[in-house]
Structure 1
Amino acid sequence: MLLVADPDPEVASRVADELGDHAIRAITCSDGAEALLIAGAEHPDAVLAATALPTIGGAAFVRTLASRTGIPVVLGVSDGDGPAAAEALAAGAAACVARPYRIGELLPMLLALRAMPAEGPLLQVGELQLDPGSLTVQLRGQPVRIPMRELRLLQLLMSNADKVVTREQIHDAVWGGVQNSNTVTVHVQRLRQRLGDDQHDPKLILTIRGVGYRLVPPA
C-alpha cells in the first residue's frame, strides 16, 4: 500500500487511480500532519509526498516519519522546489521524482521500495550491528539513525563484509535495477557521514575505483 500526500486532491486521486491499474493500492491525503497520522495508523509500504506539503513541510515530514516509522518517502519535486527538496533528501528521503507525476517514472521506484525486505537475520560485523526486524543500527554500542534506503544499502554491504559489491549489484538490490549514474555515490556518501566515516579517507566503506564498494569490519 502507498500513501500519496499532495496538496492538490486531483493530483493525488489521479496518481492513486493510475497505480491501481498496476495493482498498487493507494490512499490519499492533502497535508503533512494528516499524512503522519495516516502513516502511523496504516503503516504503508512507502509514501509519495509533494515537497511543498501544507502544515508540515517536506524536510520536517521526512525527518519525523523516519524517526517514528522508517517508512521510505519518495519526494514529488515541482519547479522551484530545489532547495526544499535538497533539504528533504538530506533528512532521509529515499528518492525524488518530478511532479507532475509520470507513471513510467514513478512505478519502478515504488516497486523497488516495496521489494525491500523488512525482515532478515541480525547482522553483526565487527562493532557494527544491524537488526532488519526493528530497523535499528548500532555502532560500538551507540544507536545510529539511518533512513530505510541507506539501511538497505548497509544491509547489503554488511552481508558481503570484506567483499567487493559492485555498483550494478547495489542498483539491482537496492533500487530494483533503476539506475542513475550518481545515485549510489550520493547514498554511500550519506551512509559514511551517518556512520562517522571520513569522506576523504574512509576506513569503513572503501571505494574500489571503477568497480564498487567494500565494507571493512569496524573495530
Structure 2
Amino acid sequence: MNEQAAEVAHLPGALDKAHVPLLLVADPDEALGHELVLALAQRGIEVAVCTDGAQALLRTGALHPDVLLVSANVPTVDATTLVRTVRASLPIPVILGVGADNAEEAVKALAAGANVCVARPYRLPELLPLILGIHAEAAAGETGGAVLTCGAVELDPVAHIVRVRGALVHMPLREFELLHYLMVNVDRVVARRQIQTHVWRTDTANTNTISVHIRRLRERLGDDPENPTIILTVRGVGYRLACPQ
C-alpha cells in the first residue's frame, strides 16, 4: 500500500479540492480495510471498516456514511441484499468491489442499486477519483450543486471551497462540515445534539469539542469569538447562523 499511497500523492491537484467526509468499507479482508484507512487519511477522507454485511447494515444506519464500498464477497449478509437494503432506505452511493470470479454477483448487485463496480484488490489511483466523483454527483443531486451564501460567506459543497468577502479560506474537514450544516439551516437554531448526529455522526460527541470547533470557525469567518454576530450561541440549546437581511 505504500507504493499505492505514493501514486496517490501524484494524482491531479483537482482531487485536493474535493473530499469524501465518510467512507464505509465492507470487506472480509480486515487488513485491506485498514490499509485503506491509512492511505485515504492523507486526503482527509474518513474511513470506517467492517468485515461482514450484517455489521455494514448496522454501521450504515448509525453513521450515515457518504459513500459505501462493498466487496462482492462480503459474508453474513451478501452484497446484493446489503445494497438493496441500504438503497431502499438511504440515498447513499454504493461502489462494488469485484474480483475475477464475481461477475454474477456484480450483475445482481448493480440491479439491486449499486452505482458502479471497481476492481478488487483496490488500486488507489483508480478508487480515489471514483469515490470523489460519485460523492460529488450525489452532493449535486441533493443541493443542485448550488453555492450557499450567507452575507459575505460563500460555501461550495461540491468543490469544498469557502470564501469570505471573496477571499479563499482554508477550512479543515470537520469545520467545513459544521459550516455547511449551519448554512443549510441558516437563521434556524440547531441543537448540539443535531450537530452531534449530522456532523460528528454520533450521539456521544463531547459538547466541549463542538464549542472548540465553533470558536475556530468564528475566527476563520472573521467573527468575534467574544461578541459574535455571525454564529450566535443560543444558550442551553445550540447555535444559529445569522444571515444579514
TM-score by length of 1: 0.53
Contact (CA 8 Å) 2:26, 2:52: kept in 1 or not? yes
1:148-207 deviation per Cα after TM superposition (whole angstroms, max 9, x unaligned): xxxxxxxxxxxxxxxxxxxxxxxxxxxxxxxxxxxxxxxxxxxxxxxxxxxxxxxxxxxx
1:6 maps to what in 2?
27
Counting only pairs closer than 5 Å after superposition, residues 45-84 of structure 1 correspond to structure 2 as 45-84=66-105
> Could you say which structure has the higher helix fraction?
2
Percent identity (aligned)? 45
Distance 1:14 1:120 in 2: 32
Contact (CA 8 Å) 2:40, 2:46: kept in 1 or not? yes
Distance 1:78 1:10 in 2: 17
- Secondary structure at the counterpart of residue 142 of structure 2: coil
Q: How far does residue 114 in structure 1 lie from its aligned partner after superposition?
A: 2.1
RMSD across aligned C-alpha pairs, in angstroms? 1.2
Q: How far does residue 89 in structure 1 lie from its aligned partner after superposition?
A: 0.7
Q: How far does residue 119 in structure 1 lie from its aligned partner after superposition?
A: 2.9
Counting only pairs closer than 5 Å after superposition, residues 177-188 of structure 1 correspond to structure 2 as none
Distance 2:116 2:100 in 1: 16
1:38 maps to what in 2?
59
- Secondary structure at the counterpart of residue 18 of structure 1: helix
Q: How far does residue 10 in structure 1 lie from its aligned partner after superposition?
A: 0.3
1:102 maps to what in 2?
123
Distance 2:143 2:39 in 1: 32
- Secondary structure at the counterpart of residue 44 of structure 1: coil
Which structure 2 segments of 5+ residues have no match? 1-21, 145-245
Contact (CA 8 Å) 2:110, 2:116: kept in 1 or not? yes
Q: How far does residue 70 in structure 1 lie from its aligned partner after superposition?
A: 1.9
Contact (CA 8 Å) 2:93, 2:135: kept in 1 or not? no
2:142 maps to what in 1?
119
Contact (CA 8 Å) 1:63, 1:92: kept in 2 or not? yes
- Secondary structure at the counterpart of residue 34 of structure 2: helix
2:44 maps to what in 1?
23
Distance 1:8 1:29 in 2: 9
Contact (CA 8 Å) 1:45, 1:113: kept in 2 or not? no
Q: How far does residue 113 in structure 1 lie from its aligned partner after superposition?
A: 2.1
- Secondary structure at the counterpart of residue 106 of structure 1: helix
Which structure 1 segments of 5+ residues have no match? 122-219
Larger radius of gyration: 2
Contact (CA 8 Å) 1:59, 1:91: kept in 2 or not? yes
Distance 2:76 2:67 in 1: 20
Counting only pairs closer than 5 Å after superposition, residues 167-182 of structure 1 correspond to structure 2 as none
Query: How many pairs were matched up?
Result: 121
2:7 maps to what in 1?
none
Runs of 4+ in 1 over 3 A off after TM superposition: none
Contact (CA 8 Å) 2:72, 2:79: kept in 1 or not? yes
Distance 1:11 1:119 in 2: 31
Distance 1:16 1:48 in 2: 12
The reply on whether 1:87 has 2:100 as its aligned counterpart is no
Distance 1:104 1:48 in 2: 15
